[in-house]
């Protein structure tokens, strides 16, 4: 007998629809199981093969868990805001709401034909005010909160304001963009804008300057995935790195909690390690290198405080605010030309770039331990978002610094007894120190770990730096579309 799949499928799908077979009710007598798919973006092309590839697998698993007696929640929705809808609207003159609604209807029809066991009463559309009023609510909660580093959780911004009114910044335990110092008298004397700007330094949802992928032609910020070789994937337009003032979420405040939480979740060791590397915790020291002949001090973060005696040059990110502050008039044209050349690369491209490039600023920094003047360069292998956007370069013991020094014929000073740096850097963090003796600090003969501890103590005692924990995890940028995107609930 012929298997008439069209007739059988449509008949049963109609039955499921009429009888709400897959509707999920609250039932405390059964164990719960939640199966969540990645919501598709409803484009005009409809579903592509990658959608059902994942959805069929999760659908099978949902049915399996139902048959085991679980109360299964298996919803579906649409990630309905985005740049493609904006661009389609510009090209066709149709409002994106019209095209998005039409596209969602097409997706729903295709999903129904496949016969998935979704609870359609729980359907979500991110462009529906009934949905995004809740993300706006969450945004307001974050805007009106700061992260208390002592309690390790978010607390009302009103508590912080009350502290400022009585104590100023003294004794504040709050994650922030910049360490601020002010008295209660100063705070109480601030005008409305000054108070607002100060609180932005502490809010979990805040406005701040951050480097972004800016596409002038599209008139919007792009994610790294939307850029390839300096061009936007949509349209092929030039993209540049640009410092812009926009909404951010202070995710970095939660870095240690995220790390600690990895110990309590049922993930594979390899996935946990990937997350640890993404969060990127590093213990080190922040140090200040005075710029010769100026009031500027170049602040750097290093995990190898013991290697200060081997610093033979400094390097700044092209976006660093220090660049304009210290570049000499003679080198201004060369520095500007270099920055213009590299601004089209994304951070991801810069991290994997093998070609060495850079330009001398004309300025010299003073090594605080040796008193020697060392040249300051600009190069795209240093990223603005990690640490301070400037590094002390120790070519003998860092592979990227080594490649840079070799390319520009800069001095390489080995600091570990018996190491050979004639062909490559010696990156191991072990061995006895050499060439590491100054007027007030002598590390020669010490093991590396002991030298690191001794140098940290010394720089704190002398007031030229402080011990600090740093994280690679960045704050999330929360600004994307011009108009076909979630409206911000703050003016």
Can you read off the two tokens belonging to residue 466? 């402080």
pLDDT at 481: 63
pLDDT at 88: 83
Model confidence at 179: pLDDT above 70: yes
- Residue 275 CB-density burial (10 A; 0-12 exposed, 13-18 middle, 19+ buried): middle
On whether residue 19 sits in a domain, the answer given is yes
On whether residue 483 sits in a domain, the answer given is no
Q: Strand 124-125 vs strand 77-78: parallel, antiparallel, or unpaired?
A: parallel
Q: Cα separation of 72 and 421, whole Å?
A: 61
Question: Into how many domains does the chain fold?
Answer: 2
Model confidence at 482: pLDDT above 80: no
Phi/psi for 360 (5° steps) reads: -80, 135
pLDDT at 277: 94
Percentage of the chain modeled with pLDDT above 70? 99
| CATH number of the domain encompassing residue 42 | 3.40.50.620
On whether residue 137 sits in a domain, the answer given is no
User: What is the pLDDT averaged over residues 196-213?
Assistant: 93
pLDDT at 483: 78
pLDDT at 438: 86
pLDDT at 441: 93
- Point out the domain boundary residue: 86, 101, 127: 127
Q: How confident is the model at residue 348 (pLDDT cuts 50, 70, 90)?
A: confident
On whether residue 170 sits in a domain, the answer given is no
Q: Is the pTM of this model over 0.85?
A: no
User: What is the pLDDT averaged over residues 317-344?
Assistant: 93
Mean pLDDT lowest for which of 209-223, 279-293, 411-425?
A: 209-223
Per-residue pLDDT of 57-68, as tens digits, reads 999 999 999 999
Q: Cα separation of 261 and 242, whole Å?
A: 34
The mean pLDDT value of the chain amounts to 92
Q: Which structural domain, as residue segments, surrounds residue 327?
A: 281-471
Per-residue pLDDT of 382-408, as tens digits, reads 988 767 889 999 999 999 999 999 999
Q: Cα separation of 241 and 216, whole Å?
A: 11
Percentage of the chain modeled with pLDDT above 90? 77
pLDDT at 485: 86
Cβ atoms within 10 Å of 76's Cβ, excluding its own = 19
Model confidence at 86: pLDDT above 90: no
132 in helix, strand or coil? helix
Per-residue pLDDT of 253-269, as tens digits, reads 999 999 999 999 999 99
Q: How many residues make up the chain in this entry? A: 491
pLDDT at 390: 93
On whether residue 461 sits in a domain, the answer given is yes
Q: What is the DSSP letter of 305?
A: G
Q: Cα separation of 35 and 424, whole Å?
A: 50
In 389-429, DSSP assigns E strands to: 390-393
Better pLDDT: 485 or 203: 203
pLDDT at 293: 93
pLDDT at 147: 98
On whether residue 368 sits in a domain, the answer given is yes
On whether residue 479 sits in a domain, the answer given is no
Q: Cα separation of 116 and 252, whole Å?
A: 39
pLDDT at 330: 97
384 in helix, strand or coil? coil
pLDDT at 136: 94
Can you read off the two tokens belonging to residue 179? 């360490």
- Point out the domain boundary residue: 127, 162, 195: 127
Q: How confident is the model at residue 368 (pLDDT cuts 50, 70, 90)?
A: very high
| CATH number of the domain encompassing residue 379 | 3.90.740.10
Q: Cα separation of 289 and 281, whole Å?
A: 24
Mean pLDDT lowest for which of 38-52, 112-126, 156-170, 289-303?
A: 38-52
| 478, 395 Cβ separation under 8 angstroms | no
pLDDT at 480: 63
- Point out the domain boundary residue: 127, 143, 158: 127
On whether residue 365 sits in a domain, the answer given is yes
């Amino acid at each position: 007998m012929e298997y008439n799949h069209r007739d059988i499928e449509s008949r049963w799908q109609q039955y499921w629809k009429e009888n709400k077979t897959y509707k999920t009710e609250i039932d405390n007598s059964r164990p719960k199981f939640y199966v969540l798919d990645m919501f598709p973006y409803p484009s005009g092309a409809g579903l592509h093969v990658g959608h059902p590839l994942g959805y069929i697998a999760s659908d099978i698993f949902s049915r399996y868990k139902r048959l085991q007696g679980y109360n299964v929640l298996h919803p579906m929705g649409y990630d309905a805001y985005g740049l493609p809808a904006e661009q389609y609207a510009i090209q066709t003159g149709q409002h994106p709401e019209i095209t998005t609604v039409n596209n969602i209807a097409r997706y729903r029809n295709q999903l129904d034909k496949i016969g998935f066991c979704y609870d359609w009463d729980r359907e979500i559309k991110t462009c529906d005010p009934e949905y995004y009023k809740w993300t706006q609510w969450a945004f307001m909660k974050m805007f009106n909160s700061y992260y208390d580093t002592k309690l390790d959780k978010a607390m009302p911004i009103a508590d912080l304001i009350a502290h400022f009114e009585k104590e100023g910044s003294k004794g504040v335990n709050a994650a922030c963009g910049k360490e601020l110092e002010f008295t209660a008298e100063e705070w109480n004397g601030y005008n409305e804008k000054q108070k607002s700007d100060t609180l932005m330094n502490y809010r979990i949802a805040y406005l701040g300057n951050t480097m972004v992928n800016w596409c002038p032609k599209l008139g919007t910020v792009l994610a790294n995935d939307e850029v390839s070789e300096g061009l936007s994937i949509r349209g092929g337009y030039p993209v540049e790195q640009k410092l812009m003032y926009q909404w951010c979420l202070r995710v970095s405040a939660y870095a240690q909690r995220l790390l600690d939480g990895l110990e309590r979740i049922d993930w594979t060791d390899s996935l946990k390690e990937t997350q640890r590397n993404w969060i990127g915790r590093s213990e080190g020291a922040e140090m200040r290198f005075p710029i010769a002949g100026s009031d500027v001090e170049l602040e750097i973060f290093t995990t190898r405080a013991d290697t200060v005696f081997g610093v033979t040059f400094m390097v700044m990110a092209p976006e660093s605010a220090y660049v304009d502050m210290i570049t000499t008039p003679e080198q201004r044209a060369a520095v500007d030309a270099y920055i213009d050349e590299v601004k089209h690369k994304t951070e991801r491209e810069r991290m994997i770039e093998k070609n060495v490039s850079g330009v001398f600023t004309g300025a010299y920094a003073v090594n605080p331990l040796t008193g020697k003047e060392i040249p300051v360069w600009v190069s795209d292998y240093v990223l603005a978002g990690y640490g301070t956007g400037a590094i002390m370069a120790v070519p003998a013991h860092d592979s990227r610094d080594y490649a840079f020094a070799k390319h520009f014929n800069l001095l390489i000073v080995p600091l570990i007894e018996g190491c050979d740096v004639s062909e490559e850097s010696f990156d191991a963090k072990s061995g006895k120190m050499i060439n590491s003796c100054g007027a007030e600090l002598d590390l020669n003969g010490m093991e590396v770990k002991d030298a690191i501890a001794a140098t940290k103590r010394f720089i704190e005692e002398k007031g030229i730096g402080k011990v600090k924990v740093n994280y690679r995890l960045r704050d999330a940028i929360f600004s994307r579309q011009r108009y076909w995107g979630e409206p911000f609930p703050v003016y």
